[in-house]
Amino acid sequence: MEKGIAVTGMGIISSIGKNLEENYISLISGKNGLSFSEILETKHTHLPVGEIKISNLELLDSLKLNSSKPITRASLLGIVAVKEAILNADLHETQLGTCGFISGTSVGGIDATEKYYKNFQDGDYTEFIKAQHPGFTSKQIANYFEIKGQVSTISTACSSAANSIMLGARLIRSGKLKRVIVGGTDCLTKFTLNGFNSLMILSEKPNKAFDEDRNGLNLGEGAAYLVLEADDVLGAKQVLGRVSGYGNANDAFHQTASSPEGEGAYMAMNKALRTAKLNPRDIDFIHAHGTATRNNDLSESVAMNRVFKDSLPDFSSTKGFTGHTLAAAGGLQAVLNLLMLKNQQIYPTLNFQNKMEESGLIPITDLKHKRLSHILSNSFGFGGNCTSLIFSSNEK
């Protein structure tokens, strides 16, 4: 197999915890982060969401940032997660000078523009106009840490963070960078809540991934980042795991729905296996995209069966815990994958009751201890953008 790129640090903030420790405790105790909107001022207060119960002012305060600066919620969440990742990886200031930062977001900045849009015309809050550009969110995070290497923003919907991880791994493999921080951030906005509602794919109950009676997703917010480093700069550092495989493909079927055969997912998973030089049988666990929409879970099940045939490993969706964090989802999954590898355990699919008639597949529904070496992780975005990543234990 391919050795893969070393992960030396990680950080996360989600509706189940504001750091690694809190997220871990929620995961092992089956405690989900779904609630009703309080911080987001929306009329849709009946829709469960994975809201982080920390206001922007509290975030600004904890980061010792001046509230007069135009900083957006996705940036604040991103900074919290990157801070933990940097600490976790024991990166020094000088190293940040040449470090890269690849970040995925879909609505970064929109939380501010949807609040202040009408004021722009009166000449108020104009410092937030730039926030309409997703790159602004990434720059704010990079500037906070004085990261001076390559800073890039990827915007490919729900596969953005996964694609950022993939790009980061490639940049290290090609020798362009020695270290890079990769992941994504997205916050709850009226923009997405109303938009997804118009597509009629939001559930009024906690989401039930892979369940016969699933009826939609719950939106969430969060940020999660990994620190990737080249082998020749590792020294004696801890290696949490390795990004050993990755693949991206386009479903070429529909703007928002996945093809019935799960073609894009099928190709992405196969590409990831190929880059990792692994067989399907080598995968110990699949961390599914599993949004609990009628469409995704069926399409993903078909694709998994096509790839793995009669050697389908354990699989699970963790969106019952965090909600669907859109562009950040691939990053959150990555951090959870590394927690699973570290603790040799699988986190369950919450709210599952009845298997899907079409596939008969049953996800893991309780915390399970298992020997894990390789985890395949899926993130499928609107626009048919399908990405699969493989995370492996660090072989000594």
Partner 1 sequence: MNKQYYISNFTSIKKGAVYNAKNKIFESELELNEIDLFLKEAYNFLALSYPKFFKMDRLSKLGILASEVLLKNESLESDTAIILSNSTSSLNTDKTHQESINQIVSPSIFVYTLPNIVLGEISIKYQLQSENAFFISDTFDAELIADYTNDLLAFEKAKNAVCGWIDLKNAEYDVFLCLISEEGDVPFTQKNLEQLYYFENE
Partner 2 sequence: MSDLRTELKESIIEQLNLEELSVEDIENDEHLFGDGVGLDSIDALELIVLLEKDYGIKLTDPQQGKDIFVSINRMAEFIEAHRTK
Which residues of the shown chain bind partner 1 in the complex (CB under 8 A)? 106, 110, 113-114, 117, 132-135, 138, 150, 152-157, 163, 167, 170, 174, 176, 190-191, 194-200, 247-256, 263-264, 267, 271, 381-385
Is the Cβ of residue 66 or residue 255 nearer to partner 1 in the bound state?
255
- Nearest approach in angstroms of CB 6 to partner 1 is 19
Among 65, 257, 356, 361, binds partner 2 (CB under 8 A): 257
Q: What is the 3-state secondary structure (H, E, C) of the chain?
A: CCCCEEEEEEEEEECCECCHHHHHHHHHCCCCCCEECCCCCCCCCCCEEECCCCCHHHHHHHCCCCCCCCCCHHHHHHHHHHHHHHHHCCCCHHHHHHCEEEEECCCCCHHHHHHHHHHHCCCCCHHHHHHHCHHHHHHHHHHHCCCCCCEEEECCHHHHHHHHHHHHHHHHHCCCCCEEEEEEEECCCHHHHHHHHHCCCECCCCCCCCECCCCCECEECEEEEEEEECHHHCCCCCCCEEEEEEEEEECCCCCCCCCCCCHHHHHHHHHHHHHHCCCHHHCCEEECCCCCCHHHHHHHHHHHHHHHHHHCCEEECCHHHHCECHHHHHHHHHHHHHHHHHHCEECCCCCCCCECCCCCCCCCCCCEECCCCEEEEEEEEHHHEEEEEEEECCCC
- Binding partner of residue 100 among partner 2, partner 1, none, CB under 5 to 8 Å per kind? none
CB of 259 to partner 2, least distance (A): 12
365 binds partner 2 (CB under 8 A): no
Q: Count residues contacting partner 2 (CB under 8 A)?
A: 7
Q: Does 234 bind partner 2 (CB under 8 A)?
A: no
257 contact choice in partner 2, partner 1, none (CB below 5 to 8 Å, kind-dependent): partner 2
Contact between 254 and partner 2 per CB under 8 A: yes
384 binds, among partner 1, partner 2, none (CB under 5 to 8 A by kind): partner 1
- Does residue number 255 form part of the binding site for partner 2 (CB under 8 A)? yes
Name the residue nearer to partner 1 (CB basis): 8 or 385: 385
Contacts with partner 2, residue ranges (CB under 8 A): 198-200, 254-257
